[in-house]
Structure formats: structure tokens, C-alpha cells
Structure 1
């Protein structure tokens, strides 16, 4: 099986200028753990994941090194509001690793495992054409082997 046989298409995307309030609403209410960021031509320009948003709230290395015991992690949860005025472009990862639709799915798993990804964008050149998750692959292999 190839990536194109099991990938999700169409894909929910956001633009670089999408507010983080909208991005986090999609993540929390629609249960997206990450969203591709595209331009008007569906060119993939970045990816924003829940961990990118939450990482923004982490204390700095300098603060941790100075006195970890003094950091009030509970109070830092209230800093979440400072994320909302930002845009996707402020926190997205650029230079995203993608897969071609013609990659065998077990090769895709090896690439995902090596990069510690649970999902990965699928692109033809720079154009986003789908998303592939470990769940997509697992489901496809299960269906092939146990449902005939």
C-alpha cells in the first residue's frame, strides 16, 4: 500500500495569518493535534501543533537553570491568554518534512518514527495533498489483514 491509498484528504488547514485563538479553538474543540499552514495556492508553508502552542508557555532555559523550584508552573497556566493574540506564523514550524503520495506506508512509518511524528503532511512538490497519521496506517493494515 502507498501513502496515497490511506492518507486523509481533504485536510483542514489554516493560513499563516490565522489567529492563534482560531487555531487553538480548532485544536481543542475539533480535536486536531496539528494543522498544516498553507498559502492561497495550497502551498505548504508550515505546520503548527499543540506542542508548539504549549511550548510557548514553558519557562525559559535561563529561568529553569536559575531556580527551577521558584517557577510557579500552576500560575503559568494563566499565561495561556498571551498566546491568543498571536498568529499561526508566530509559532508554526517552517521547513516541514513531508511525504510523497507514492511512498510505501511502512517506509512512511519509519520516517515518522525517526522524527517522532504521529502525523505528517503529504505533498506533491510544495502543494499539500493530504495528511497521514499512524492511525491511518494502522487502520489500513488492520482492514487489509482482518476484513479481507
Structure 2
């Protein structure tokens, strides 16, 4: 039997933070800072420029977005995740691919996410290049 690990997903912007929660509102950038107990991992939108100790047994994760995003799409999850990464190279551009999965699903996640590079190549062929300045995948 697999041992489940706790996790939380923060959906619904106005439930978690004060904001103007309107469909037409798109802030042009955002800094999302979440402080959690050590041993847990925070996942959010954007790039993770750093983690900072935040008192005994706690760490603050700071995620930076440098592009417009709807409030309702800016979210977070935290739990005891396993992390792995890769890169997608398209011409001269390199896109960072970060993946998080529950440790007991790690091998299944690696098999599933192996398809991402093919998906990105297909999307580029049909919709144009993915912005290299983006937050990654």
C-alpha cells in the first residue's frame, strides 16, 4: 500500500490573497512568496529565483513572473514533491522544463512527461515559437 503524502493546491485567487479578482485584469508581473515548513516544496508560476530561510524550520519560496497573467491563473501547490528537470532546445533558444510529482508517482511522471518535448515541437510548428523569455514549462 502506498503511503499518501499531504499536499495543498491554492486555487481561486481571492480565497488566498487580497486582489482585484476580475477576468479582465492581468497584472504585467507578479512576485509570489510562500513560506512553508521545511521538508515541503512550494510550486508556483514563473521562475524560482530563490529560497530563503524564514525562521526555525521554515523556508520562503519566491516565484517571479515577468509576463501578464490572469489573477485566477496565478496559483501555488505545496507538498512533499520529487523534482526533476530537463531542457527543450529549439534553434538557439533553450526552455527550462521543471517537473514535480509525488515521490510514489515519480517513475510514472517521468514516462508521461517524456512526451513534453514532442508536444512543444508540435505547438511551435502550428502556433509559432514559444517565447524564450517565458517562465519555462
- Normalising by the smaller structure, the TM-score range is under 0.3
Compare CA radii of gyration and give the structure with the larger one: 1
**If each structure's helix is expressed as a fraction of its own residues, which one has the higher value?**
1
TM-score, L = length of structure 1: 0.21
Higher relative contact order (CA 8 A, sep 6+): 1
